[in-house]
Amino acid sequence: MMDLLTTHYNYVASILLFGIGLYVVMGSPNLVKKIIGMNIFQVGIFLFFVTTGYVDGGAPPVVGHGEETFVSPLPHVLILTAIVVGVSLTAVALALVIRIYDGYGSLDEDVIKEVQVDD
Amino acid sequence: MTDALVLLVVVPIAASLFPVALGGRFERIGWFVAAAMGLVHLGLSATVAARVLEGGSISYAVGGFEPPFGIELVADGVSAPLLVLVSLSTLGVLAYARRAGPHSNAFYSELALLTAGISGVFATADVFNLYVFLEITGLATYALVASGRSPRAALASLKYLFVGTIGASLYLLGVGYLYIMTGTLNMADLTGAVASVGYTSPAILTSFGLIVTGLLVKVAVFPLHTWQPGAYAESPDTVSAYISALVSTAAAYALVRIIYAVYTTEFLDAVPLAGDALVALASVSIVVGAVLAVMQSDLKRMLAYSSVSQFGLVVAAIGLANETALVGAVVHLVGHAVMKGGLFLTVGVFATGLGVRTVEDFAGLAAKAPVSSAAFAVLAFSMVGIPPAVGFVGKWNIVVGAVEAGAWPVAAVVVVSTLLTLAYFGRVIERMYFTAPEPEADAVSTDGGNDTVEVSFGMRAVVVVSAVAAVVLGVLGSDLIAVVQPVLEVYF
């Protein structure tokens, strides 16, 4: 167990981030906190990809760098794209939150439900 | 001219810039840009389809990087008809939106982006590229759902965003596992690579679970459907028609591609639990979706739950791993898009013209709007699965496939679902044709009639065309199967 923590701490961290993120999305009634949770969840996945792309003692696949072990840059490039997607999602989500706050005067899901019932 | 394939994605993305860029100067330019985009898109997809009919599948290496290292786009007998379907749905929805709106330029930009995303999902042969297109589709859909001005629409959209993002992220994580084990992202390349890793390897099993769960969220199968009724019901009629016709369809197509082209039927044979779980989940979805649809009073919500049930049928057919059933699934995807898009537009015509939105209000509607009512009835009966309409062709093949595979419970569920479909559409049609309108309800609808818009010729025409298309597609069902079958045959 300790061995796993010391050698694979990066994987453990990414799984913790999934868990925390998912818990916040589902558990928090506050819409902005849900967005934060969604971001944490995604960062967990980014970390997972980046960490799998890491090779001990590997060199970048560029002429004149290193000799034997090279690192595939693909996982990192993929995550660059995924980060852009994540930023766009956050932007759209925040824009929606502004609309919701204008309409209901609250960001608390439970309060919004009450307002909807009163309508 | 394999360039047409990549232009199917590039043209809508480029077109999406113009309505926003020129919106300050020309107030109503959005529709014209989108209409031009739709026509070009139709030309391109027709070119691709003609090429596919002539000589089988065509492939395009994006940026000149040869697959499996570069991104590959592929059109074959399954994706080419679906690409044509995208163009035609776009044009149909635009003809409807001319009068019905929304009229903002941003709306047309989002519509173009959605067209790009869906075309990309149908065309791509790269699992990570598929993630990107799924997210473009998702982002455009969230914005479109929120284009209804009410805060309810914004809330429904945000809910969709949370669930959709988590679904897409699970898919991405599954792709991560696949990449770690195989070192490739190209679908054709993955087929062999997954086999050489071993189907029962824990990492491959994990990737299958994550990818399928992620896509099922987007398909909206019970119990992952919670975002869908709100999103369909709260968005403007134009938007609900477009997304109900194409967004879940794209995800279901991705599911077919991933399960059969990447994991293959050998995987399903080696891991029987995978197919069984899909079939079981889908069967529950078929029944629960239909039961929930029967319980709705709001027409759009009823149609939304009906989609949960119909996509259950498609997913069940995918899980059966039987050729006839899979053909049925693809035919039902096309048919469902035509029927459900048409039904949402018909409901939109009733709502704009007469201000009716609930099953109660539908009493005696056939006398007030005979043409649209007839279209609604045709589409509804097609959805039930009455021959010769397209709904029958899809369901028939799925049932025959289920029987061939020896999955009698599934065959029974499909038959029961047909009865339930008849139940929820039957009560609407009964009200339209055989119930006299209540005088009180009449007064309410004239009250609500103040803010109704006159129904344009374009709106009516689209509704009638979709009803006719549902029947014609049914009659031409065997031709559609002849196009689709050679591609699906290879998987077995």
Mean pLDDT of B150-171: 92
Total structural domains in chain A?
1
What tens digit of pLDDT does each residue of B21-79 get? 887 788 788 888 899 999 999 999 999 999 888 888 888 888 888 888 888 898 888 89
Eight-class DSSP state of B491: T
* Ranges under pLDDT 50 in chain A: none
pLDDT of residue B25: 82
Calpha distance A104→A111 (Å, rounded): 9
Least confident of A66-75, B9-18, B207-216, B256-265: A66-75
What tens digit of pLDDT does each residue of B94-106 get? 988 888 778 888 8
Q: Is A36 on the interface with B (CB under 8 A)?
A: no
- Find which of B129, B147, B169, B185 to mutate to test the A interface (most A CBs within 10 Å of its CB): B169
Q: Measured between CA atoms, how close is B455 to chain A, in angstroms?
A: 29
* Helices assigned H by DSSP within chain A: 2-7, 9-27, 31-52, 74-104, 109-118
What tens digit of pLDDT does each residue of B229-246 get? 888 888 888 999 999 999
More confident residue, B399 or B456: B399
Are B335 and B391 within 8 A, CB to CB?
yes
Domain that holds residue A43: 1-118
For chain B, what is the mean pLDDT? 88
pLDDT of residue B480: 87
Cβ neighbours of A32 in B, within 8 Å: none
Asked if the Cβ–Cβ distance from A99 to B151 is below 8 Å, we say yes
pLDDT of residue B439: 60
pLDDT of residue B452: 59
Mean pLDDT of B368-375: 86
Mean pLDDT of B309-327: 91
**In chain B, which residues touch A (CB < 8 A)?**
128, 131-132, 135, 138-139, 142-143, 146, 150-152, 154-155, 157-158, 161-162, 165-166, 169, 172-173, 176, 179-180, 183, 185
Are A93 and A35 within 8 A, CB to CB?
yes
The answer to ipTM > 0.95 is no
pLDDT of residue B308: 92
What tens digit of pLDDT does each residue of B445-473 get? 444 444 556 778 888 888 899 999 999 98
pLDDT of residue B161: 94
Asked if the Cβ–Cβ distance from A38 to B143 is below 8 Å, we say no
Cβ within 8 Å of residue B353, ≥6 positions away = B369, B372, B452, B453, B454, B455
pLDDT at B86 over 70: yes
What tens digit of pLDDT does each residue of B164-183 get? 999 999 999 999 999 988 88
Residue B298's SS3 state is: strand
Q: How confident is the model at residue B224 (pLDDT cuts 50, 70, 90)?
A: confident
- Find which of A85, A94, A108, A116 to mutate to test the B interface (most B CBs within 10 Å of its CB): A85
pLDDT of residue A106: 86
Residue count of chain A: 119
pLDDT of residue B3: 85
pLDDT of residue B141: 93
DSSP codes, B437-470: PPHHHHHHHHHHGGGPPPPPHHHHHHHHHHHHHH
Among A78, A85, A103, the residue with its CB nearest the CB of B151 is A103
Q: How confident is the model at residue B482 (pLDDT cuts 50, 70, 90)?
A: confident
Mean pLDDT of B218-233: 88
What CATH number is given to the structural domain containing A83?
1.10.287.3510
pLDDT at B20 over 90: no
Cβ neighbours of A48 in B, within 8 Å: 173, 176
- State percent of chain B over pLDDT 70: 97
Q: Is A15 on the interface with B (CB under 8 A)?
A: no
- Cis omega (within 30 of 0) for bond into A29: no
- Find which of B110, B136, B161, B217 to mutate to test the A interface (most A CBs within 10 Å of its CB): B161
Are B242 and B114 within 8 A, CB to CB?
yes
pTM over 0.90: yes
Please give the distance of CA B488 from its chain centroid, rounded to a whole number.
19
pLDDT at B254 over 60: yes
Among A52, A89, A99, the residue with its CB nearest the CB of B161 is A89
pLDDT of residue B442: 47
